[in-house]
Chains A and B, each alone.
Chain A
Amino acid sequence: MATISLEEVRKIYAGGVEAVKSVSMDIADGEFIVLVGPSGCGKSTLLRMIAGLEEISSGTISIGDRVVNRIDPADRDIAMVFQNYALYPHMSVYNNLAYGLRNRGVPKDEIDRRVKEAARILEIGAFLERKPKALSGGQRQRVAMGRAIVREPAAFLFDEPLSNLDAKLRVQMRVEIKRLQKSLGTTSVYVTHDQLEAMTLADRLVVLNGGAIEQIGDPISVYEQPASTFVASFIGSPAMNLIPVSVRDGRATLDSETAAGGSSLSGPDLGNGTGYTLGVRPEHFVPASERPAGPGDLSLTVTTTVLEPVGAESYLYASIGGDSGATGATVTNSSAAHVVIRVPAAARHQPGEVLSFTATADRLHAFDKTTGKRIPR
């Protein structure tokens, strides 16, 4: 077990592409860190640099109190779980687990003890003599985990380990990985592009965008206080509504509407007199009939386009603006004029229906229109 620290770590490929731009962070002993971001954001590169599979262009990576920049992957005391498991096809499950230990000169009976123990924890004891080819995807996944566990390393590195499993198995393995990590207490770095996986697993989330850290924090605070429009739209599903607004006479309105023309959106001035990007999560809208808008609140009128029931609740896809049929003037076609609103499953809204919603002041987020950064309040 160990801490991991990254100091201004960069990765520049031969072609001049900067895949990772000066990343610094400290990972505590036993912590479960999830690197999350869209494909190409540098999260896998970063993980592979920690593993030693990718050279570090500049900066330092330390595991424990040892700088590992020039140390071979095998000597870094880490174990990695790969996306496609990377099991040795010519070895039995037992030998797959034992291979890394044999190469390190661990005594035979100790290897046997550890393999049996890992097999017991992961419930793969029945397959120890089989070749990986004879296993199902979920079983292979367990063997890959087992190979990491038997090593008893300072850190586990996971590179999208669940992305090859079907949805049901993914949820099951996700829970199991979390339980396992907590009981072993091994420092872990986990890479995924799945925000739900990231939210559920992480002690701390690291949101990466274009090779740089966009935000670090525990899942709930990242969700509640996204540092930028990128984080706001990436974490949470459906994504946070981001609506560009202008400020006129101390009130925020849609860019396309003049204050005079009977606005369909009216919000507080969170941009200190200038326009900003207004963010509201789908679940924070309340029907105006239940809770009329107070002074700092947002109120808006929308026209329903699609209702998407997901069971426990429904998502209402709507365009901002009412009376679209009658006057037809106020609704623009830009994507910003569309919102997603969570409504109770019992709500039976019809397409074309005009509805009014409010959101309380403390549920509103404001971001700079040009930089996308959160505007502090």
Chain B
Amino acid sequence: MKRAQFSSPLLPYFLLAPQLAIIFIFFYWPSAQAIQSSFYIEDPFGFGATFVGLENYTTVLGSSEYLRIAQFTLVFTLIVTFLSLSIALVLAVKADAVLTGASTYRSLLMWVYAIAPPVAGLMGIMFFDQHIGPLVDLAALFGWDMRVGVNYYDTAFAMVVIAVWKQIPYNFIFFLSGLQAIPKHLREAAAIDCRSELRRFWTVTLPMLAPTAFFLLIINMTYALFDTFGIIDVVTRNEPANNPLTLVYKVYLDGFRSNDLGGSSAQSVILMIVVLVLTMAQFRFIERRVHYG
């Protein structure tokens, strides 16, 4: 990093002010509001609030439904992150090997990323539609009577497929550019040192790709935790009933459908802490193993 010199000590703060204002208004203020209201029970009609201390938290954490959703969220996040990273990596490695068609291939895959999550969810739902969905027909060929929105596991399956499908292009672009940034002579040196292509991938290519992969790991976990909201909303058709949900969706349900602002705020705060701990853990334990070239 270069150290910049400013003539006035106030100038850097002045230059940072717009960005800080945005961060404050859209991130810290709502967070502070959430933390505050998590200690209150709000009247559903807005006629005041009662301070209840940690009651919202104990209620949430004591609820078997909440714990069930938390468990699903964990599994969902792990599966979506793992699949979208690994499939994108395989595609990127294959694309990298045939560079001539790469630009077309790359932009074709990038298109998917331009789709908004609810639209992706809607398109995904078409694939899984009971009457016209090709994936349902395909599953039927193998004797799988798929009922998205009715069967818990079928719904979860559809959510994972759509969420992964939506995230692959993003990961792909990063992996591909990461792969192309690996110097040619390094690969050649490895080709002379190691016969097995797979082994070369694990020992040379992947470590060189580690900074990209680490960045994507954090982005993908955050994606699976939060940005899949639209997909879940569309897949469950806004009727959660018995369907699998993630914690973020539960926050929305309790806060806006059930008007339990306090409980929903407490859940948001829990989520914030989870993400904070997760990110810190990733930096602490994974990043130290990452080599930045």
Separation of A362 and B190 alpha carbons in the complex (Å): 52
- In the complex, whether A212 has a CB less than 8 A from a CB of chain B is no
With A89-B293, A90-B207, A90-B208 as given contacts, are A84 and B183 in contact (CB-CB < 8 Å)? yes
Separation of A52 and B291 alpha carbons in the complex (Å): 29
With A89-B291, A89-B293, A90-B208 as given contacts, are A103 and B193 in contact (CB-CB < 8 Å)? yes
Contacts of A74 in B (CB 8 A): 191-195
Using a CB-CB cutoff of 8 Å, which residues 77-104 of chain B contact chain A? none
- In the complex, whether A135 has a CB less than 8 A from a CB of chain B is no
Chain A: minimal CB distance from B6 (Å): 32
* Interface core residue of B203, B207, B293 (most chain A CB under 10 Å): B203
Interface string of A73-97 (1 = CB under 8 A from B): 1110011101110111110000000
Say which size band chain B's interface belongs to: 20 to 34
Could you tell me if A73 and B192 are in contact, using CB atoms closer than 8 angstroms? yes
Chain A: minimal CB distance from B289 (Å): 10
Separation of A219 and B232 alpha carbons in the complex (Å): 76
Interface of A is mostly: loop
Separation of A233 and B200 alpha carbons in the complex (Å): 44
Contacts of A51 in B (CB 8 A): 188, 192
Could you tell me if B192 and A103 are in contact, using CB atoms closer than 8 angstroms? no
- In the complex, whether A72 has a CB less than 8 A from a CB of chain B is yes
Beta-carbon nearest neighbor of A100 in chain B: B193
Interface string of A108-136 (1 = CB under 8 A from B): 00000000000000000000000100000
Could you tell me if B193 and A99 are in contact, using CB atoms closer than 8 angstroms? yes
- In the complex, whether A184 has a CB less than 8 A from a CB of chain B is no
Could you tell me if B186 and A100 are in contact, using CB atoms closer than 8 angstroms? no
Contacts of B195 in A (CB 8 A): 72, 74-75, 103
Could you tell me if B185 and A86 are in contact, using CB atoms closer than 8 angstroms? yes
Contacts of A99 in B (CB 8 A): 193-194, 203
Interface string of A181-209 (1 = CB under 8 A from B): 00000000000000000000000000000
Task: From the candidates A75, A82, A90, name the one contacting B189 in the complex (CB within 8 A).
Answer: A82
With A84-B185, A89-B293, A90-B208 as given contacts, are A53 and B191 in contact (CB-CB < 8 Å)? yes
Separation of A215 and B260 alpha carbons in the complex (Å): 89
Chain B: minimal CB distance from A135 (Å): 15
Chain B: minimal CB distance from A55 (Å): 13
Using a CB-CB cutoff of 8 Å, which residues 240-293 of chain B contact chain A? 291, 293
Beta-carbon nearest neighbor of A148 in chain B: B192
Separation of A78 and B189 alpha carbons in the complex (Å): 11
Chain B: minimal CB distance from A300 (Å): 49
Contacts of A100 in B (CB 8 A): 192-194
With A72-B195, A90-B291 as given contacts, are A82 and B207 in contact (CB-CB < 8 Å)? no
Task: Please list 26 pairs of residues, one from A and one from B, whose beta carbons are closer than 8 Å in the complex, sorted by A's number.
Answer: A51-B192, A52-B191, A52-B192, A53-B188, A53-B192, A72-B195, A73-B191, A74-B191, A74-B194, A82-B188, A83-B185, A84-B183, A84-B185, A86-B183, A86-B188, A86-B189, A88-B186, A88-B207, A89-B208, A90-B210, A99-B193, A100-B194, A103-B196, A103-B199, A131-B291, A147-B193
Interface set of A (CB-CB < 8 Å, partner B):
51-53, 72-75, 78-80, 82-84, 86-90, 99-100, 103, 131, 147
**Further pairs besides A73-B192, A80-B188, A103-B194: 14, Cβ < 8 Å:** A52-B192, A53-B188, A74-B194, A74-B195, A78-B192, A79-B192, A80-B189, A82-B185, A88-B189, A88-B190, A90-B210, A99-B203, A100-B194, A147-B189
